[in-house]
Amino acid sequence: MVRVRYAPSPTGTLHIGGGRTALFNYLFARRYDGRLILRIEDTDETRKIPGSEEAMMRGLRSLGIVWDEGPDTPDAGFGPYRVSERLARHREAADRLLAEHKAYRCFCTPEELAEERKARQAQGLPPRYSGRCRSLSEDQVRARVGERSVVRLKVPGDGETVVHDLIRGDVRFGNRIFDDFVIMKPDYTPVYNFAVAIDDHDMKITHVIRGEEHLPNTPKQMFVMEALRMEPPQFAHLPMILAPDRSKVSKRHGATSVEEYRDQGIILPALANYLLLLGWSPPDGREILTVDEAAQEFSLERVQRTGAIYDQKKLEWMSHQYMTRLAVETIAEMVKPFIDYGLDTGPDFVDVVALSRERAYTLTQLAEQMRFFFEPPDRYEAKGVNKHFNPGTAARLRLLAERLLDLKTWDHDSLTGLYDQSAESLGVKRAELIHPTRLAVSGRTVGPGLFDVLELLGRDAVTERLRAAADRIESGQVVMAE
């Protein structure tokens, strides 16, 4: 059975790079009827942030990712799923390597190591550990019991290690670039590369799918597995997510965590859709597809090797596609957390969402664009005031209000006819009535079709707003929005 894992460190919220990695693991597991394991890499106590694990899980769920095994699921026989709860297993493996002379205790102090690195750099050599504790005898080690020490793995100094990468092909590393790296810290807890190799083996992980920044760690994990006589999993390293200028994505290019996108009002199914296309594409080239649809077609063969370019505009475009394609009732529920005005008075909420969503790219935009349906404007767009609130506008707005009060049928066609007739009787173009009306009832110069807006707002609200705008124009108290 295919078994893959996503193993984040609880050091913050879910970054889009981590979200993309988790998503690809999820798609791979579902494509091959496998299992996705969520494992929390919490070995570094100094970097752990309270609440981070829960935030990570929320972020994953918001992208539609459901794991089969993890800290919050019943143990399927491969747990526990927090690395900090597996320390006895890691210590047992380290003891075994020490007993088999495949690892050794190193008593070098941080100051001695720093001095050694400095000396090697002065000679033009790479700052590798020299291995001077490697030759200590058992008696010498016993004599220093109680001193601060770490455990280092004996790494072969010659030859090369080949990573058979399912995306990049064979990647070769000369073993000379690696020193005898630390596998257990002074407190006898494991470093990342030691723990992850053991845990991947014990959890029967078949494929390690992760970002390419982990590629240099792979030979070290293979050294550990070889020393412990473990069969390594297959590896696949995903391309990095890059900004348009091919630099590393940062906050200046847009939000960087799933929670930040959520707070911006990006529709999260759209974010999942966007992330799954960062480095992969379906055979038919579709751009709009759900996570479940992608799972039916996902393969590592279609993952690109080169960096995937992040584009905030494309993400917002995709959010807009979901805004207009999802059921209007679904969008109505999604937008409610972004609304800071009352909904007790005004038109039917779902009807307002249906009319307003065509112009919105995010839920925050949609919430703001709907505001005037529930709050009469107290200020008006400056460019609209300068262009449409001209001398004579107040009288026209009052005339329209009177005629609208007398209109027998309040619907789109009747409203259209009234404005056509009024423009003809006043000897003006219809636009000279439509634009001031839109500004008076909404405070804005653009929006959904005016007669759809008027029909939804209702007779009382429209006539009151037209008269209020006329009063402000005549008194010179028009407040312009910034």
Indicate if 153 and 229 belong to the same structural domain: yes
Mean pLDDT in the chain? Answer: 94
Active site residue 48: no
Indicate if 396 and 309 belong to the same structural domain: no
Choose the final residue of a domain: 281, 305, 334: 334
CA–CA separation, 469 and 460 (whole Å): 14
171: in domain? yes
Indicate if 317 and 393 belong to the same structural domain: no
CA–CA separation, 299 and 436 (whole Å): 56
Indicate if 195 and 277 belong to the same structural domain: no
10: in domain? no
Indicate if 212 and 311 belong to the same structural domain: no
Q: Kindly compute the dihedral angle of the four CA atoms of residues 428, 434, 438, 439, in this order, to the nearest 10 degrees.
A: -20
Indicate if 256 and 316 belong to the same structural domain: yes
For residues 165 and 237, the answer to whether their CB atoms sit within 8 Å is yes
- pLDDT per residue as tens digits for the range 296-319: 999 999 999 999 999 999 999 999
The one-letter amino acid code at 385 reads V
Choose the final residue of a domain: 279, 311, 334: 334
Handedness of CA 189, 191, 197, 200 (dihedral sign): positive
Q: 435: which 2 tokens?
A: 């634009």
Instruction: Tell me the chain's radius of gyration from C-alpha atoms.
Output: 32
Give the count of domains, the chain.
3
- pLDDT per residue as tens digits for the range 71-101: 999 999 999 999 999 999 999 999 999 999 9
CA–CA separation, 8 and 22 (whole Å): 9
CA–CA separation, 396 and 269 (whole Å): 47
CA–CA separation, 101 and 154 (whole Å): 8
| Interstrand relation of 207-211 and 234-238 (parallel, antiparallel or unpaired) | parallel
- The CATH number for 306's domain is 1.10.1160.10
In 31-73, which ranges are E strands? 35-38
For 134, the domain range is 86-238
Give the per-residue pLDDT at 255.
62
Give the per-residue pLDDT at 249.
73
Indicate if 132 and 170 belong to the same structural domain: yes
352: in domain? no
Indicate if 109 and 212 belong to the same structural domain: yes
197: in domain? yes
The one-letter amino acid code at 452 reads D
Give the per-residue pLDDT at 251.
62
* pLDDT greater at residue 409 or residue 120: 409
Indicate if 186 and 230 belong to the same structural domain: yes
- The CATH number for 381's domain is 1.10.10.350
1: in domain? no
- pLDDT per residue as tens digits for the range 42-55: 988 788 899 999 99
Give the per-residue pLDDT at 124.
81
Indicate if 90 and 230 belong to the same structural domain: yes
**Which residues lie closer than 8 Å to 421 by C-beta, 6 or more apart?**
none
Indicate if 232 and 277 belong to the same structural domain: no
For residues 353 and 412, the answer to whether their CB atoms sit within 8 Å is no
CA–CA separation, 79 and 99 (whole Å): 26
For residue 482, is pLDDT > 80?
no
165-173: average pLDDT: 96
Choose the final residue of a domain: 334, 363, 393: 334
CA–CA separation, 151 and 158 (whole Å): 21
**Which residues lie closer than 8 Å to 157 by C-beta, 6 or more apart?**
175, 176
For residue 234, is pLDDT > 70?
yes
CA–CA separation, 7 and 70 (whole Å): 10
Give the per-residue pLDDT at 248.
77
Q: Which of 251, 313, 336, 429 is catalytic?
A: 251
Indicate if 91 and 163 belong to the same structural domain: yes
For residues 373 and 412, the answer to whether their CB atoms sit within 8 Å is no
CA–CA separation, 287 and 318 (whole Å): 9
123: in domain? yes
426: in domain? yes
466-482: average pLDDT: 93
User: Over pLDDT 70: what percentage of the chain?
Assistant: 99
For residues 370 and 271, the answer to whether their CB atoms sit within 8 Å is no
450-472: average pLDDT: 97
Indicate the burial class of 147 (C-beta count within 10 angstroms; 0-12, 13-18, 19 or more). Answer: exposed
Identify the band that residue 250 occupies on the pLDDT scale cut at 50, 70 and 90: low
448: in domain? yes
